[in-house]
Amino acid sequence: MKTLLIPAVVVLSLCASVCGLRAVETPPYMDVSQSLESRVEDLLSRLTLEEKISIIHADSKFTTAAISRFGIPRRWLDDGPHGVREDIGPDTWQSAGRTDDFSTAMPSGICLAATWNPELGFSEGEAIGQEARARGKDIMLGPGVNILRTPLCGRNFEYLGEDPFLTSQMCVGYIRGEQSQDISSCVKHFALNNQEFERGTINVEVSERALREIYLPAFKAAVQSGGVWSLMGAYNQLRGQHCCENDYLLNKILKDEWGFKGLVMSDWDGAHDTRECALNGLDLEMGTEKKYDDFYLAQPYLDLLKSGELPPGGLDEKVRRNLRVMFATHVFDAGRKTGSINTAAHEAVARRVAEEGIVLLKNESHTLPLDATKLKTFAIIGENATRLHAHGGDSSGIKAFYEINPLDGIVKRAGEKVNVIYSEGYQKNGGADLAERAIAAAKAADVVIYIGGLNHDKGLDCEGADRTNMNLPYGQDALIQKIVAANPKTIVVLEGTMVEMDAWLGKVPALLQAWYPGMEGGNALAKVLFGDVNPSGKLPATFPKKLSDSPASVFGAYAYPGTNGTVTYAEGLLVGYRWFDTKNIEPQFPFGFGLSYTTFKYSYLKLIPGDGMNEIVTAQFEIENTGKVAGAEVAQLYVHQKNPALLRPEKELKGFQKVFLKPGEKQMVSIPLKQAAFEYYDDGKKSWVADNDSFEILIGSSSRDLRLRDNFKLAEK
Ligand code: BGC
């Protein structure tokens, strides 16, 4: 049962009016007509030192203490980016064993990014926000926006890809949606948590320019465009100081430069020292492996405040930020949204994100879509056809209401007339007999749908460790080759993040990248396979042919995974396609790539000068669906600088738009560019600058399929 906490002053006031006494006035902090800041200041002024301290650290794994005399409720935090995580016990990581903590399981972050549809980001955030409120949560620990620097990072599946512009656009939509539900999002992990290897200690050395241009933009967008109310520090160090107590990141950049007004919390057990936490910008300490009173920002901080070794103003500022988030999310207000759980609309969002996020990577001779009426026997092969993923991956795992696996989705869609043979094919510790049975199934079928890839086992797509290579596990390379030899009509569907494919890619006619598609994933995949949905996903990260081509792997161990506790980002700015394009390395599949069952024609590029203030120039062009089925295209705009004063990547994404077109339909697309689209960060000047130079505006269907181009001269400012 929940206890309703009524502030003492309100009780007094009620009692006074009932008893006919002079009514005590509602305190300003409870008065919704007052400004947020005056409510914060009023409540702050009423708190004792001890009460203030209780606000800035946890009192269980995922809560902070209530202060009942002011009606400050216990705050509930929860993971994470893909839905509302199951509740765990107050002091352990074990499940609380509840039966009312199921949630809609959304596709993983990288699948959302592959939709290139910020409106879907909004819908997903909104749905999770509603479920979070229905579960009584206050702060949701997501989205995760760390840049995919190496294919090996164990948490790439949770994040939004390799490009700062795409991650920014996608996370802003998500945050706005989630926060519209009286929930605070908590963007994470600030910053440079680009690997899980030694994540709690590793020290990152990165150039200021790469920091500003690659690793910080999504966080800045979350703050300045998304209006995010909470931010989580990262476990790792930057330049010798832990990120949860990093003066440069938290005080100088986040709060002073970007004007962040919300709260900074530690990652769980990411705080290390009372003085550093006190002085360097941490506002809420969570998850430290100590008794709650012994947290760095609990008794030890109180002691230093009482002895005068640390200034009281620092504490007030932390409390102020915590209170601000409470008032912004209407914690004290009668009309706070109460949410809803696993509605049909939430399921539809989960399905649409999967439908739009699945990427068609290869489709020779129109192998796809399949026509169920023309096929008699399907062989479905692969452990991922039946494996459930939603609960895995660690903190982002979800106790799903249900999860449609690919086999169930396909069987349902194919209908009763089709004979389906399922064969597992491989297993973690499987023997040769599994492969033999799968080959026999392949021979007996008209078509094979192979569903493999990675999973959330430790050491694959999972928190706490990185992969050690980019291979398909469990002998799948050899298995796929045998299956395609037995039946050339083999469609490969890979779940998880990127893997090397050279062993078999040339032999299979069709390939789909399905990531972790959430609880509606099997239905979404079946719709794509049978053409009810025309695929429109585009890769949010480059797929290298081999790991050794990827920038973080080129410079040896000091650049990844680090030596003697330090990792040096030797590739600098050249992350993802910025590296492959600048160094002329052929990727397996380029950034922004994804096929459709229809074709699109791009024409009539016009560069229209803007007002020179807000918009510098607008690229306008036409897209036409020239095929026979409806579909969506993500038109991408890249900027190339002709004669840069400093090294610049060959091209950089600066705009995109997803357009839905019926067969034969045309649409004019306008992508406005601001000054920022031409700027780079000048280390020497410590500011963003744009050269007075010529730029090429490149429009295309992927970063390597550019259809239109024109030159633009940036006028002197
Ligand atoms: C993860 C965070 C997560 C937190 C709470 C940490 O291990 O890095 O992303 O929000 O745990 O579960």
Distance 267 CA to ligand 1 centre (A): 6
- Write down the pLDDT at residue 80: 85
Ligand 1 atom nearest residue 235's Cα: 8
The Å distance, Cα 107 to ligand 1 centre, comes to 18
Residue in 189, 395, 466 to alter for ligand 1 test, most ligand atoms within 8 A of Cβ: 395
Q: What is the pTM of this model?
A: 0.96
For the Cβ of 236 lying below 6 angstroms from any atom of ligand 1, the answer is no
Distance CA 495, CA 514 (A): 5
C-alpha torsion sign, points 610, 614, 618, 624: negative
Provide the 8-state DSSP code for 677: G
Which of 604, 623, 707 has the alpha carbon at shortest distance from 669?
Answer: 623
Cα of 350 vs centre of ligand 1, distance in Å, is: 23
**What is the average pLDDT value for the chain, to the nearest integer?**
95
- The atom of ligand 1 lying closest to the CA of 395 is 12
The span from the CA of 5 to the CA of 291, in Å, is: 26
Verify whether ligand 1 is closer than 6 Å to residue 324 (CB atom): no
CB-ligand 1 contact for 85 (6 Å cutoff):
no
Ligand 1 centroid to 288 CA: how many Å?
12
267 as an active site residue: the answer is yes
Percent of the chain exceeding pLDDT 90 equals 94
Is residue 186 within 8 A of residue 231, CB to CB? The reply is yes
The token pair that represents 402 in the structure block: 């249900």
Instruction: Round to whole Å and give the CA distance between 540 and 629.
Output: 25
Beta carbon of 159 within 6 Å of any ligand 1 atom: no
Question: Mean pLDDT, to the nearest integer, of 500-527?
Answer: 98
How remote is the CA of residue 286 from the centroid of ligand 1, in Å? 10
Q: Can you give the pLDDT at residue 717?
A: 64
Q: In what order do the strands lie in the sheet with 447-453?
A: 359-363, 510-515, 490-495, 447-453, 377-381, 419-423
* Ligand 1 contact via 188 beta carbon (within 6 Å): yes
Expressed in angstroms and rounded, the spacing between residue 268 Cα and the centre of ligand 1 is: 6
Q: What is the mean pLDDT of residues 463-474?
A: 98
Q: Which residue's C-alpha comes closest to atom 9 of ligand 1?
A: 395
Which residue has the least CA distance to atom 11 on ligand 1?
268
pLDDT for position 15: 43
* Model confidence band, residue 256 (pLDDT cutoffs 50, 70, 90): very high
Strand order in the sheet with 694-702: 652-661, 631-641, 694-702, 705-713
Ligand 1 in reach of 268 Cβ (< 6 A): yes
Cα torsion 316, 321, 323, 324: sign: positive
Atom in ligand 1 nearest the alpha carbon of residue 158? 9
What's the pLDDT at 430?
A: 79
Ligand 1: atom nearest CA of 186 is 10
18 — pLDDT class (breaks 50, 70, 90): very low
CA distance 150 to 204: 14
pLDDT for the residue numbered 20: 45
> How do residues 109-161 score in pLDDT, each as one tens digit?
999 999 999 999 999 999 999 999 999 999 999 999 999 999 999 999 999 99
**pLDDT (tens digit, 9 = 90+) per residue, 428-451?**
887 889 999 999 999 999 999 999
Is the CB of 141 within 6 Å of ligand 1?
yes
Atom number of ligand 1 nearest to Cα 189 = 9
Please report how many Cα atoms fall inside a 13 Å half-sphere around the Cα of residue 180, on the Cβ side.
14
Q: Choose the residue to mutate in 192, 268, 269 for probing ligand 1, maximizing ligand atoms within 8 Å of C-beta.
A: 268
In contact, 262 and 184? CB cutoff 8 Å: yes
Q: Quick one: pLDDT at residue 33?
A: 94
Q: What is the mean pLDDT of residues 255-262?
A: 98
**Other CB atoms within 10 A of residue 93 CB:** 11
Q: How far is the CA of 232 from the centre of ligand 1 (A)?
A: 9
**Residue identifier of the C-alpha nearest atom 12 of ligand 1:** 395
- The catalytic residue among 87, 138, 182, 267 is 267
Indicate which atom in ligand 1 lies nearest the CA of residue 142. Answer: 10
Q: Residue 715: its pLDDT value, please? A: 82
Which of the two residues, 381 and 417, has the higher pLDDT score?
Answer: 381
- For residue range 32-88, list pLDDT tens digits in order: 999 999 999 999 999 999 999 999 999 999 999 999 999 999 999 999 899 999 999
pLDDT digits (tens, 9 = 90+) for 217-245: 999 999 999 999 999 999 999 999 999 99
Residue 24: what pLDDT? 64
Band (pLDDT 50/70/90 cuts) for residue 9 is very low
β 652-661/631-641 pair status: antiparallel
> CA 207 to CA 572: how far, in whole Å?
6
Q: Which of 453, 608, 365 is nearest to 108 (CA)?
A: 453
